[in-house]
Amino acid sequence: MTAIDAAIRWHAGDFHLDVALGAGPGVTVLFGPSGSGKSLTLRAVAGLLTPSEGRIAVDGRVVFDSARGLDLPAHARGIGYAGQRPALFPHLSVGGNVAFGIRAGSRADRARTAAAWLARLELPGFEHRRPGSLSGGQAQRVALARALAPGHRVLLLDEPFSALDESLRQGLRQLLADLVQERELAIIFVTHDLREAHLLADQLVVIDRGRVLQAGPRDGVFRAPRHRRVAELLGGTNILAGRVVARAAASLTVSIDGWEAVAASWHGDPQPGDAVDIVIRPERVVIRRGEPAATNTLPARVRREFDYGTNHTLEFEPLGPGPSLLVDLPSRPYDVLGIAAKKDWVLELPPGDVHVMPAAPPFRATTQ
Amino acid sequence: MDILDPLRISLLIATAGTVACVAMGTPVAWAIARSRSSVAAVISGISLLPLVLPPTAVGYYLLWLLGRESPTGRFLLDDLGIQLVFTWPGAAIAAAVVSIPLYIRTAAAGFEQVDEEVLMSARTLVPPWRVFTFVVVPLAWPSLIAASLIAFARCLGEFGATVVVAASIPGKTRSLPAAIYDANLAGNETLAHQLSLAALAIGFVLVSLLTFVLQAAIRRDRP
């Protein structure tokens, strides 16, 4: 059963939110830039924001329906929620925080349940601590325990790790992934961090300027964006303008700056002569030595390089006709290949990693 | 005339007036602090009116509202048998009306300090009344206590509106400020002095309590 099924319309000033969202078991990541409407969508589902129009169902139960005048309060929607900050109740103990939303059982039962959740979130014996004495990572784990303790199967998390150090984030992401498996949770996770989105998502929903641009299984959305803006948001830094030269049953031949490449992935119905955008993810490009092959190879030279510590981003310019390309390479292959000393290479682009989309103008940020 | 009767009546008026301020002012303060609606803005404006009107004008309107000339007054008198004009409960109502803007402003300032994200988390866990009782009130208590003390002090010192509504009947409605006024008018300087000293002593206790509450709040908020 779909855990969340929502159609939401809301506006304030010039900003219009108009999203349709479906989320099943596992982690559905709501990804988009700041101000795109991700948190508003989450709050509308949680019952913390009233849409002007729409319908929201949680686990098959309608909790909001503007047509019927139905608007269940947040606590009655059967949803756990944690925001960007832990926002613990400062006047209660850690145990009191976690037990706050538990409805069933005696006081002692609730305290036991809270203690069990704290133990599961790797905070055993923390019940009597005060929120002010916790570190950022501990406080966020208490916030997660508080959201989970009432026993809800659906959890809404609004950038819960954004204020934490990277090392703490990694531990919490793993903990979350374990909990999803263990408790069969359905989570909607809001983030604007691309790495976090890729790491956690089973399903990915890309949202921008109040609209869902694309939704589907993570790898499908990453590998095959529908149009330029999705590719831009998902870090597809090689977005090239080209034209379809030929179309076969399972491949397209496209021309990019006088260089021809074969693509095995496309969106829409591109026909020979059509202007298209081509996206090639920088981490999918293969670097090798030797002679260029007949298809999808491009002799190129390193023009600039950027060292990010764990990986290098190399900017290649073609030695003949063709586009300039950015290539991401982990540090170890960079050292082994000796790229610091040798600059001329052959770039190889597997046809499955060359994705063609209908042509669209480059995105220009507008004031919302 | 001694000082005990006016003191007793003043404390009665101030206590009842403060209870009325808390009961009626708390929901209004919450609405003003949390709602962005135009209705809340209108309520906010209306709640300030007693602060800018002369207390005697407030008393005049209340006298009309509670007296036999108005439908409410006739309803209270004829249907319910409740006489408020020239009684201490009438004086308490007048004192509450004059004091309530101070209560609302102070309480609303406290409510505005409550973290929005804390409230959102609470709302997903328990019904709104539990959020208010077990999250909002414990977090805003210093402001609510301060607001109550300020309202109590204002009720205690209220003269203009109460004297118009309840007059200054010895042993019945003559409060401390009215007694000071009457003693001064009668040339009884000794009594006026004793009554003023009593008012000063109460004021000193209230200011001490207020300082204690504010200090406690500062200590609590310090990380």
Alpha-carbon distance of B210 to A285, in angstroms, equals 70
Of all residues in chain A, the percent with pLDDT exceeding 90 is 73
Contact yes or no for A91 and B223 at CB 8 A: no
* Residue A102: per-residue pLDDT: 94
B114 touches chain A (CB under 8 A): no
* Residue A1: per-residue pLDDT: 59
Alpha-carbon distance of A284 to A265, in angstroms, equals 14
Judged by DSSP in three states, B112 sits in helix
Which residue type sits at A302? V
pLDDT tens by residue, B65-86: 998 889 999 999 889 999 999 9
Alpha-carbon distance of A114 to A110, in angstroms, equals 6
* Residue A364: per-residue pLDDT: 55
Give me the half-sphere count of Cα atoms (radius 13 Å) on the Cβ side of residue A197: 25
| CA-derived radius of gyration, chain A | 24
Which residue type sits at B109? A
Element (H, E) at A345: strand A344-348
Residues A352, A358, A360: CA angle, nearest 5 degrees: 125
Task: Give residue for tokens 């500062």.
Answer: B218
List the beta bridge partners of residue A311: A330
Contact yes or no for A91 and B117 at CB 8 A: no
Instruction: Give A105 to chain B, closest Cα distance, Å.
Output: 15
Q: Across chain B, what does the average pLDDT equal? A: 92
Cα distances from A218 to residues A3, A117, A208, A235, in angstroms, run 18, 30, 17, 14
Alpha-carbon distance of B163 to B9, in angstroms, equals 13
Mean pLDDT, range B13-21, rounded to an integer: 96
Mean pLDDT, range A74-93, rounded to an integer: 94
Strand ranges of the sheet holding A325-330, from the earlier edge strand across to the other edge: A286-288, A344-348, A297-307, A311-318, A325-330
Compute how many other C-beta atoms are within 10 angstroms of the C-beta atom of residue A26.
Answer: 17
Give me the half-sphere count of Cα atoms (radius 13 Å) on the Cβ side of residue B23: 9
* Residue A207: per-residue pLDDT: 96
Contact yes or no for A43 and B120 at CB 8 A: yes
A90 to chain B: which residues are within 8 Å by CB?
Answer: 118, 139
* Residue A362: per-residue pLDDT: 64
Q: How confident is the model at residue A181 (pLDDT cuts 50, 70, 90)?
A: confident
* Residue A182: per-residue pLDDT: 87
Task: Give residue for tokens 């292959």.
Answer: A333
Which phi and psi (to 5°) does residue A12 adopt?
-145, 120
Q: How confident is the model at residue A3 (pLDDT cuts 50, 70, 90)?
A: confident
- Terminal-to-terminal C-alpha distance of chain A: 36
Task: Give residue for tokens 């590998």.
Answer: A223
- pLDDT score of A10 more than 60: yes
* Residue A366: per-residue pLDDT: 45
Cα distances from A33 to residues A23, A210, A334, in angstroms, run 20, 11, 31
Tokens in use for A111? 């305290």
Tokens in use for B94? 């007048």
Cα distances from B108 to residues A228, B102, B213, in angstroms, run 49, 10, 17
Cα distances from A149 to residues A75, A115, A118, A201, in angstroms, run 13, 10, 9, 23
Alpha-carbon distance of A229 to B49, in angstroms, equals 54
B128 to chain A: which residues are within 8 Å by CB?
Answer: 73
Cα distances from A180 to residues A3, A28, A103, A114, A160, in angstroms, run 13, 11, 23, 19, 15
Alpha-carbon distance of A306 to A286, in angstroms, equals 18
Which residue type sits at A282? P
- pLDDT score of A343 more than 90: no
Q: Give the count of Cβ contacts less than 8 A between chain A and B.
A: 60
Contacts of B38 (CB under 8 A, 6+ apart): none
Contact yes or no for A47 and B117 at CB 8 A: no
Contacts of A112 (CB under 8 A, 6+ apart): none
CB of A257 within 8 A of CB of A322? yes
Strand A286-288 and strand A275-280: pairing? unpaired
Alpha-carbon distance of A69 to A66, in angstroms, equals 5
Instruction: Give A80 to chain B, closest Cα distance, Å.
Output: 7
CB of A29 within 8 A of CB of A48? no
pLDDT tens by residue, A30-64: 999 999 999 999 999 999 999 999 999 999 999 99
Contact yes or no for B117 and A73 at CB 8 A: no
Q: How confident is the model at residue A290 (pLDDT cuts 50, 70, 90)?
A: confident
- pLDDT score of A84 more than 70: yes
Short-list B80, A137, B94, B192, CA closest to A145: A137
Instruction: Give B17 to chain A, closest Cα distance, Å.
Output: 30
B123 to chain A: which residues are within 8 Å by CB?
Answer: 47-48, 73-75
Contact yes or no for B118 and A87 at CB 8 A: yes
Compute how many other C-beta atoms are within 10 angstroms of the C-beta atom of residue B51.
Answer: 14
Alpha-carbon distance of B97 to B82, in angstroms, equals 19
Short-list A19, A17, A21, A32, CA closest to A196: A32
- pLDDT score of A186 more than 80: yes
Give me the CATH code for the B4-221 domain, please.
1.10.3720.10
Which residue type sits at A211? R
Q: What is the dihedral of CA B104, B105, B109, B110, to 10 degrees?
A: -40
- pLDDT score of A330 more than 50: yes
Contact yes or no for B122 and A100 at CB 8 A: yes
- pLDDT score of A365 more than 60: no
